[in-house]
Amino acid sequence: MERFDVAIVGGGPAGSAAGHAAASGGASAVVLEKGVPRADRPDRLGPDSTDAAGILDYWVDIMGIHPDEMPDDVVLGELDRAEFIGPTESMTLRSTGIESSYDNFGYCMHRARFDDFLRDRAEAAGASYRVGASVRGVESDHDADADPRHRVELAGGETIGADFLILADGPQRQVTSGVLDQYLPFDVTERLSTRETNHIAYQEHRRLPEAVYEEVAGAIKFWWGHMPGHTAYPWIFPNDDNVARIGLTMPIGMDLDDVSSREDYPLVESDDERVPQGREYIRRLLEQEYGDEYDVESDFPLVEDRGKSSGTETYAISSTRPIDSPTEAGIAVVGGAMGSTSAFHEGGDHTAVRTGAIAGELAAAGDLSPYNDRWKDAIGDELVRNVAMADVVHDYEPDDWDWAFATARKLLENSEGYGLFDTSNIGAGFSAAKLVTTYKRTKFSLRNGKYVQLSASEYAL
């Protein structure tokens, strides 16, 4: 049995950040990654951790890594705005309204290269990063003096012993759920069933006509109220060389028969018997936006050497509230596995990296007990915003989105970004007061850690 101070399950942003921090703190650390092939990572297996790969200005500071530290080919383009498009109303944000060390609104990046950068960074610090290391299970000793406290069983028959275990296996929690279950007085799936707590996301890499690319360059675009489902929306993220990621996120297992006013959703057709597949939704979006001038299939071709497979990728994304970790057992859950990423803002590389770094730092110091407080201090405000907004819009239908965008547009005349929720004004009218008050009340209800759906006190240790 090999021995390490810290074993990390999952080699995505959270896992690599944990490995880097642990090794930088003088601990022996191993990152265990099963490895997934990608068309845009042809010579190297890496993590199955894909999202729309955009970072906003203040996210740079949350993440703690400035793009100047990355290889030149990671950042694909700078962003100067976010466009939110309802069925008939829209609004544009040109500032998040939050102070940051990054000068632009944000940037888009090449996710596979970002993953490789984080891996190389962890290895340079002294962490061992092992690809093809599928974890079959974890056996833990509840005795804090056990040596080792955790035994990670690999599919190849090897065993890794470690004093501390960091779970970074993403929102599907293939390992995390089994580990946490032994510390809970109820079945872990009661709270963390992936079909109920996650969304499914699908995206395509398409080359845009020159005029269309010039139109979307610098913008991340989201269409709300165009498809049914809580936190369901398509998007376009510009990349480089006239290529954009065009995708969507939606709940898993939604029944179209349960959707009221389905005729009001622009991307739902009257003869649909079930929720359209991702590729069909994207085709309809492109037809809606550009079909009058272009032949979508020929003028917006798939770029087959990008993404996971033939220009496309499908992945899970967390839509649930975050969870605390059973730190007394020497375990920290980070990134998507803890629910710090969010379907509301399409991912969360910044929160994944930050939580991983905190866990790795504390494990190297030999004490994970501050972890639950540390991650709340670092990313709590960000998660409260996301949870509050997601709760506010939970039952929104197309007309509600149009109302919200028209109202927010008025509020933006006297504020920037998230600042529109700080105060309303007489000129913006009753609707503005209603929108601001609803958000503030929802946010207030989440104070004192109430946004956490599984608290540390619930673990039986």
Q: What pLDDT does 41 receive?
A: 87
C-alpha–C-alpha distance, residues 148 and 157, integer Å: 18
Query: Given a cut of 60, is residue 7 above it in pLDDT?
Result: yes
With contact defined as beta carbons under 8 Å apart, do 96 and 418 qualify?
yes
Residues 6+ away with beta carbon under 8 Å from 144: 328, 330
pLDDT average, residue stretch 195-203: 80
On whether both 52 and 183 belong to a single domain, the answer is: yes
Q: What pLDDT does 346 receive?
A: 59
CATH, residue 107: 3.50.50.60
Question: Is residue 459 included in any domain, yes or no?
Answer: no
Question: Is residue 224 included in any domain, yes or no?
Answer: yes
Question: Is residue 89 included in any domain, yes or no?
Answer: no
C-alpha–C-alpha distance, residues 114 and 69, integer Å: 11
On whether both 376 and 392 belong to a single domain, the answer is: no
On whether both 163 and 219 belong to a single domain, the answer is: no
pLDDT average, residue stretch 356-361: 98
DSSP state for residue 295 in the 8-state scheme = -
With contact defined as beta carbons under 8 Å apart, do 4 and 129 qualify?
no
Query: Given a cut of 90, is residue 424 above it in pLDDT?
Result: no
Evaluate the omega torsion of the peptide bond into residue 276 and state whether it is cis, within 30 degrees of 0: no
Question: Is residue 160 included in any domain, yes or no?
Answer: yes
Q: What pLDDT does 344 receive?
A: 67
Query: Given a cut of 60, is residue 426 above it in pLDDT?
Result: no
Residue 19: band (very low, low, confident or very high) from pLDDT cuts 50, 70, 90: very high
Question: Is residue 335 included in any domain, yes or no?
Answer: yes
On whether both 269 and 394 belong to a single domain, the answer is: no
Residue where a domain stops, chosen among 380, 397, 422: 380
On whether both 56 and 182 belong to a single domain, the answer is: yes
Residue 253: band (very low, low, confident or very high) from pLDDT cuts 50, 70, 90: confident
On whether both 25 and 157 belong to a single domain, the answer is: yes
Q: pLDDT, tens digit, for every residue of 64-119?
A: 999 999 999 999 999 999 999 999 999 999 999 999 999 999 999 999 999 999 99
On whether both 280 and 405 belong to a single domain, the answer is: no
Residue where a domain stops, chosen among 290, 316, 342: 316
On whether both 414 and 368 belong to a single domain, the answer is: no
Question: Is residue 452 included in any domain, yes or no?
Answer: no
Q: pLDDT, tens digit, for every residue of 37-73?
A: 888 888 889 998 766 678 999 999 999 999 999 999 9
Number of structural domains (the chain) is 3
Query: Length of the chain in residues, anyone?
Result: 461
In terms of Cβ atoms closer than 10 Å to its own Cβ (0-12, 13-18, 19+), residue 297 is: exposed
Q: What percent of the chain has pLDDT over 70?
A: 96
Question: Is residue 31 included in any domain, yes or no?
Answer: yes
Query: Given a cut of 80, is residue 291 above it in pLDDT?
Result: yes
Q: What pLDDT does 106 receive?
A: 95
Q: What pLDDT does 144 receive?
A: 74
pLDDT average, residue stretch 254-265: 90
Residue type, 385: R
On whether both 27 and 155 belong to a single domain, the answer is: yes
On whether both 395 and 424 belong to a single domain, the answer is: yes
Question: Is residue 113 included in any domain, yes or no?
Answer: yes
Average pLDDT of every residue of the chain: 92
Residue 130: band (very low, low, confident or very high) from pLDDT cuts 50, 70, 90: very high
Q: Where are the alpha helices (DSSP H) in 25-170?
A: 57-63, 111-125
In 3D space, the residue among 450, 338, 317, 454 whose CA is nearest the CA of residue 384 turns out to be: 450
Q: State in Å, rounded, how far the first CA of the chain is from the last one.
A: 26
> Could you tell me the residue range of the domain that residue 225 belongs to?
199-316
* Strand segments (E) across 231-300: 233-238, 243-251
On whether both 272 and 322 belong to a single domain, the answer is: no
